[in-house]
Each structure stands twice: as C-alpha cells, then as structure tokens.
Amino acid sequence: MRMRFSSSLFQALPALLAAASLAWAQAPLQPQKLAPYVTSPQPIVEKMLELARLKSGETLYDLGCGDGRILLSAARNFGARAYGVELSPTLVKRAQQMVESQGLQDQVKILQGDMMQIDVSAANVVALYLMTDANAQLRPKLERELKPGARVVSLEFKIKGWKPARVEKVEAHRHPYTIYVYELPQK
Ligand SMILES: C[S@@+](CC[C@H](N)C(=O)[O-])C[C@H]1O[C@@H](n2cnc3c(N)ncnc32)[C@H](O)[C@@H]1O
C-alpha cells in the first residue's frame, strides 16, 4: 500500500515547518558548564582583590561564584557590593547560607543561573576562575558590557587576545598560582 499525504496536510506543511523552526530558534539554550567546581584558596582570594584594586563602594561580580568566598571577602574586607552567579543550586544554597551567617545580605547578592545570560555592565571588577576556553567565550560579552576602566581578574587562566595590566605569581598551600589582571581601556 502506498502512503499518501492528504492534500490539506500537504498544503499546511510549509506553515507547520516554519512554526517548528521558529519554536526551535526560540527555545532557551541549555546553560553550558564552563568550568568544574574548584575553590580559590583564601589567601589567593585576598590577593586577587588587592591586585584588582577593588575599592570600598565599588561593585564586584564573580562569574561562577562557587561557595561565594570571593563575594564574602569583597564585601567584608574591601567594603564592596558583590554579585555572584552560579549554575549549581547546591553551591548557591551553600553560598547564601554563608552570606546570611556573616550578616552580609545587604552587600552580597547571588543568582542561580548561567553567567552568559547576566548583564555585567554595573561591575567595576569581574572575578573569574574558569578555563581558557570559557574566558575566550566570555571575552566578547565583557568587551560589549564592561565600562571603561573596569578590571577583570582571572585566576590561572589568561584571556587570549587581551594584554594583562598586571601578572603576579603567588603561592598558597605549597601550590603556585598565577593571577592576571586586565583593565578595560579608558575611552
Ligand atoms: C573553578 S570554580 C570557581 C569558584 C569560585 N569563583 C572560586 O574562585 O572559589 C568555577 C565555578 O563556575 C561554575 N560555572 C560553570 N559554568 C557556569 C555557567 N555557565 N554559569 C554559572 N556558573 C558556572 C561552576 O559550577 C563552578 O562552581
């Protein structure tokens, strides 16, 4: 037996295909896990913020904030406002508990979600501990959104194509770390 399209279905086919492809194009992309969870040792956190020249009253974003340690230090020790975004709900919960136990709710806000989807234009400093490919993926977003003079501090991994303003090698727990600081040009 031969299959036949009914003529009305056949006529409706282009419209059905167009609707299907529009729905596909509008479907939210799955967030991509850009780095595994590894914490920055606390002495390194302090050094990163110092090298980024984070000042009281400034705003820091940590993209992939893990347990929130960079946010806590930025708020507690540098007097900054700190925003974190993290993919893992478990880590967000842990970070939020730390924020509350230290009474820093007014200064620190944490969002569960994809770093590629949040607007970082309010940042004076962006902290990264990701990977080379992740930094390369983020670079156009940072160039588009960050204001002149903003700093990006990246632990261990360079941002390819950018020239660091400062690079420092620091040891913590008998392990050498490299910190890269980038400054967006003043216009
Ligand atoms: C190496 S850890 C750094 C944690 C913290 N910033 C620190 O220095 O201690 C990287 C974090 O990025 C998170 N991450 C990976 N891809 C992400 C994405 N697309 N959006 C938000 N967070 C993401 C991971 O879950 C992980 O907690």
Determine the residue type at 170. Answer: V
* 109: enclosing H helix or E strand: strand 108-112
The answer to whether residues 99 and 110 touch, using CB atoms and an 8 Å cutoff, is yes
Please determine, for residue 103, whether its predicted confidence score (pLDDT) is greater than 80. Answer: yes
Atom of ligand 1 nearest to the CA of 68: 5
Determine the residue type at 179. Answer: I
The DSSP annotation for 118-170 comes to: S--TT-SEEEE---HHHHHHHHHHHHHHPPTT-EEEEES---TT---SEEEEE
Q: Give the strand order in the sheet containing 81-86.
A: 108-112, 81-86, 59-63, 125-128, 151-155, 175-183, 166-172
How far, in Å, is the centroid of ligand 1 from the Cα of 34?
Answer: 7
pLDDT for the residue 187: 75
Q: Of all residues in the chain, what percent carry a pLDDT higher than 90? A: 83
Determine the residue type at 109. Answer: K
Please determine, for residue 2, whether its predicted confidence score (pLDDT) is greater than 70. Answer: no
How far, in Å, is the centroid of ligand 1 from the Cα of 128?
Answer: 8
pLDDT for the residue 26: 52
d(CA 30, CA 37) in angstroms, rounded, equals: 19
Please determine, for residue 10, whether its predicted confidence score (pLDDT) is greater than 50. Answer: no
Q: Which domains does the chain have, with CATH numbers?
A: 42-183 (3.40.50.150)
Give the mean model confidence (pLDDT) for residues 27-55: 93
Residue 117 near ligand 1, beta carbon < 6 Å: no
pLDDT in tens, 75-100: 999 999 999 999 999 999 999 999 99
This prediction's pTM: 0.87
How far, in Å, is the centroid of ligand 1 from the Cα of 114?
Answer: 10
Residue ranges in the chain assigned as alpha helix (H): 7-26, 42-51, 69-78, 89-101, 132-145
